Chains A and B, each alone.
Chain A
């Protein structure tokens, strides 16, 4: 994996990122002061007979408008939102646009925030808002200029809508398709005018998603659905102990399984190739593998937690400092808290898979990924072929949640595929998917605060845990600070005069860690919002009032808090052992306040009764998608709060499938009301916003219902049971 990583396209330079990293925040840290990677640029294969002014837009002579999607669709609605932005500025006929997955090409389709093709951190619309608008407006200006030239009129006297240019005075109309050749020879305008938001025809409307019709009738094709002539099917087993190797394989029984074609033994995994997945699975079950479990064979969760707790006692690197922390703690009354979050698996509904066809001089891949070019480079490294001999076919993703920000599955599939004559689809069983994930890190956070006259006058917050950035993007792990791990801690919303945030990098033995929907804010929003509730109680204040009093510098968040308090019935009486909890967060460029109402029974079981959120996410490109993302994100986060925990024993993950790695189901989910606040600000992120908002609000509801201040997730029912 190290070799493959070093093969990746270069990430943003250290220097470019340094300023941002110290200023704090994931978004700032990544923002490039350089020319955006995808400012409109001619695509390399400008096909004849098409108007292709940039990498995102192609119009043919029949008027067919193809929009190329730089970001990947994993359910978050980004294909529709990206198409809406492009089509709005282009004045295309939205009903007839065709969407295409972008090929692997960082230069043309790199995420401006990261410099490479990445879909993550809820930043697709934030990053591409301006570049897409410029791309659409540029194309529109060229089409209008082409029509005006043919009519010999001033372009300013022409207008465009629904894929046509109109000259109002003469009533002449030209379809975009008829302007393709003329527009192609128009010089590209440097600063095409962007629409005034009041003139948006598509943006801001709850339009129907473009990817969903095929998802109702079985016609959608995910990576796992790739079918190729002569294809074989494979499944694999890696050593159950992280880092272990194959010691010995007895394949006599496996070979006897009808339909089994080949047994592949690599140093760290075994795979069985068959005529169909069932033969491969039966063959794998029949394979007798002895593993050399290696150095991690004794690793356990208990030891990992002991290590993390010890590490969290050390001083960390200061990631943010405001005022004078010592002076702050010299005043008022000190309160301490410590919070712990477990390892989590991603468990996207589409298990990991990758179809490969490796020949002597080419490697073709069919999969669904959040990192196109990283898949390409991993495949190149694994196949031994140069990058330009690797073709990646991306697909719609059956969930990503950060798991598909990794390319380990591609490397494994290519190593298997090298030994197969013809194409082979490699599918991970659910057990293999859960037991060989890259896990959301376990974190421990310690917070101290000083309260004086009902206000926080000092705040010291220390985060301890694995650095994902140090592995995933080492060039931006600078001065010992992981910008993701401190995200939403260094940019706390509250007015606190003396504040310090520290970070301790503490890597667990054996367990690989990775981004998980909600990323760094998952940890920080939970710890901060839980502790704020404890401080409110200590100060004798209502949790909403306490927060409101400290949000003077955050009017957007304060407005969201006021709205959610009103809509959730905050303050109205509730039955015994039922409570409301609130959380607020300014994460991902969106301002959200959430109230969860929950009931705790005598045995400590927790029932969700009602969830209400109010969000200001700037211009809501598609308000219906925003509601759906928040409803889903809240459920994703609440699922983790109620059930999510991956534990380790003897170097192995103890959970294996949905029977022991549980998910919330429909009968446990109440109505979830989302109120979107109208805003003219630039769009914020939304895919992860609900995920991080839910758990602290639920925990605070339990605190209100029972008086028990839980400080770990998942929720410990034993601590909530009525003592008899």
Chain B
């Protein structure tokens, strides 16, 4: 295993430097090295989506993404997504419709939903299914997630 190297990252518009093993997943860099704990560990095998972040606006599962593979792509996490128009609308719709229960999966849900709206401003049910099926919610908030995405999309019109 390669020892730590210095890696430059852009996270939520800020330049950061971390000393991390190149194979260390971004999830643990964010949580353990940078204290950005909004991104969650759920399964470690890209099955649940709790760790979703954006790379250049596209949703990725940070639990399997080696930090050295990121390069100069911009990272957006739940802590920063509110500064994007889609992210802000999703966060607002989530509160307007009171989507959240325990909330543990919701960072990932919000990141997936914000990325969906970025590329598909007016998603239909099939678009929502395709974009959100990778995010498990154990509390079962799916009905409200669907409504809230539509609400956020209406807000964008």
Contacts and interface: CB of A to CB of B under 8 A. Distances in A.
B141 interface: yes
Contacts of B2: 258
B137 interface: yes
Interface in A617-664: 624-625, 628-629, 631-636, 639, 657-659, 663-664
The binding surface of chain A is classed by DSSP as loop
A663 B45 contact: no
A259 B21 contact: yes
A348 interface: yes
A672 to B, nearest CB: 5
A427 B77 contact: no
B1 A75 contact: no
Contact of A212 (B36, B47, B98): B98
B132 interface: yes
A278 B24 contact: yes
A348 B1 contact: no
Given A427-B41, A658-B43, A666-B135, A278 B25 contact: yes
Contacts of B39: 218
A401 interface: yes
A429 interface: yes
B129 interface: yes
Contacts of A224: 37, 40-41
B139 to A, nearest CB: 5
Contact of A666 (B28, B45, B110, B129): B129
Contacts of B103: 75, 211-212, 215, 220, 396, 398
B51 to A, nearest CB: 11
A399 B139 contact: yes
A258 B3 contact: yes
Contact of A349 (B20, B32, B50): B50
Contact of A348 (B41, B44, B77, B138): B138
Interface in B29-43: 31-33, 35-43
A277 to B, nearest CB: 5
Nearest to B50: A349
A218 B21 contact: no
A634 B142 CA distance: 11
Contacts, number: 187
Interface in A651-698: 657-659, 663-667, 669, 671-672
Contacts of B144: 628, 631
B44 A278 contact: no
Nearest to A286: B1
Nearest to B136: A663
Contacts of A233: 32
A671 B32 contact: no
A373 B7 CA distance: 44
A227 interface: yes
A664 B79 CA distance: 28
B9 interface: no
Contact of B44 (A217, A429, A665): A429
B95 A430 contact: no
Interface in A169-193: none
A218 B135 contact: no
Contacts of A221: 37
B48 interface: yes
A209 interface: yes
Contacts of A276: 20, 24, 28, 32-33
A259 B41 contact: no
- Looking at B1, B103, B129, the one whose CB has the most chain A CB atoms below 10 A away is B103
Contact of B40 (A349, A628, A667): A349
A323 interface: no
- Chain B interface size, as a band, is 35 or more
B128 interface: yes
B32 A216 contact: no
A632 B28 contact: no
A563 B77 CA distance: 45
Contact of A279 (B21, B36, B44, B110): B21
Interface centre among B36, B41, B106, B143, by most chain A C-beta atoms within 10 angstroms, is B143
B38 A219 contact: yes
A556 B133 CA distance: 38
A430 B82 CA distance: 29
Given A216-B110, A277-B28, A663-B136, A282 B1 contact: yes
Interface string A208-236: 11011101111111101101000001000
B78 interface: yes
Given A258-B21, A663-B136, A665-B133, A208 B98 contact: yes
B21 A401 contact: no
B4 interface: yes
A74 interface: yes
B98 A218 contact: no
Contacts of B91: 216-217
Interface in B135-157: 135-146
A430 B44 contact: yes
A29 to B, nearest CB: 28
Given A350-B40, A663-B138, A671 B24 contact: no
A671 B144 CA distance: 9
A349 B102 contact: yes
B143 A208 contact: no
A613 interface: no
A76 interface: yes
A153 interface: no
13 contacts: A75-B100, A75-B139, A212-B100, A218-B79, A224-B41, A233-B32, A277-B28, A282-B21, A349-B102, A350-B40, A398-B40, A636-B138, A665-B133
Given A349-B102, A665-B136, 18 more contacts: A75-B102, A75-B139, A209-B100, A216-B91, A218-B38, A220-B103, A225-B31, A233-B32, A257-B1, A429-B44, A430-B42, A430-B45, A632-B101, A634-B140, A635-B142, A658-B43, A658-B136, A663-B136
Nearest 6 pairs of A and B residues by beta carbon: A218-B38, A635-B140, A75-B102, A398-B104, A215-B103, A75-B101
Interface of B: 1-4, 20-21, 24-25, 28, 31-33, 35-45, 47-48, 50, 77-79, 82, 91, 94-95, 98, 100-107, 110, 128-130, 132-146
